[in-house]
Amino acid sequence: MQAPAPIFIPANQPTAEAPVVGINPMYIVPYPTDLIISEKLLSLSECSLAITDSYGNLMFNIETKFFSLRDRRVLLSPDGRPIVTFQQKILTAHRRWQVFRGESTNPKDLLFSVKKSSVLQLSTKLDVFLASNTKETKCDFRMSGSWFQRSCTITLGDTNMVIAQVHKKHDIASIILDKDKFVLTVYPFVDYTFMITLVAILQEINADRNGED
């Protein structure tokens, strides 16, 4: 069996002294992490996401709250513990999503928010603002790419420093992956629950669920 090609990690990536934390530092490791994300169709209009490691061990689930008017989602640990809740903010021009700690939707528990960089886009670009960035003159992180093509990058602010990527497998292991499974590679010293939540929001925005921007 041919070994997969090594992942290139630029030298100017986050470090132990300056990690990227969006949710919880307990989800940071000093090496690149491949997470397999699988879509599960729940109905004609709803799907959920399951996140496993490269060995197939369940790490997280994203649960849909069907009764919610704001497309509410919850990221859950394997034992069902809520890590974050995220929902679409109503009456906004840029499809803004807000992410809260645990099961809360109280503004005091806001961790970060995500919105389209502009209303009209040929390809999706999302700006991410930490809760402490109240002026939002510059984004803290940016996502660029397409959920449908299973390809996107997450960068630190407006820089070219990539901290995570969504991609398809291109080695022999890809035989086991179908069209509803893809890989999120999170770079060292980056909170991988933060990256998972961003990818889930990208899915929701690309799906354009209610047809409105």
* Whole-number CA gyration radius for the chain: 16
CA pair distance 213, 152, nearest whole angstrom: 21
Question: Whose CA is closest to 145, among 130, 161, 127, 166?
Answer: 166
Assign 62 to helix, strand or coil. strand
Q: What is the residue whose two structure tokens read 């603002």?
A: 129
Number of other residues whose CB lies within 10 A of the CB of residue 14: 18
Structure-model confidence comparison of residues 123 and 164, the more confident one: 164
- pLDDT higher at 173 or 131: 131
Write the pLDDT tens digit of every residue in 35-86: 998 876 555 445 578 999 989 899 999 988 655 556 789 999 999 999 999 9
Q: Is 195 helix (H, G, I), strand (E, B) or coil?
A: helix
Q: What is the pLDDT of residues 86-134, one digit of tens each?
A: 998 876 666 899 999 999 999 999 999 999 887 665 667 899 999 999 9
Task: Record the tokens describing residue 119, joined without a space.
Answer: 């209303």
Domains and CATH numbers, the chain: 29-210 (2.40.160.200)
| Percent share of the chain, pLDDT over 70 | 73
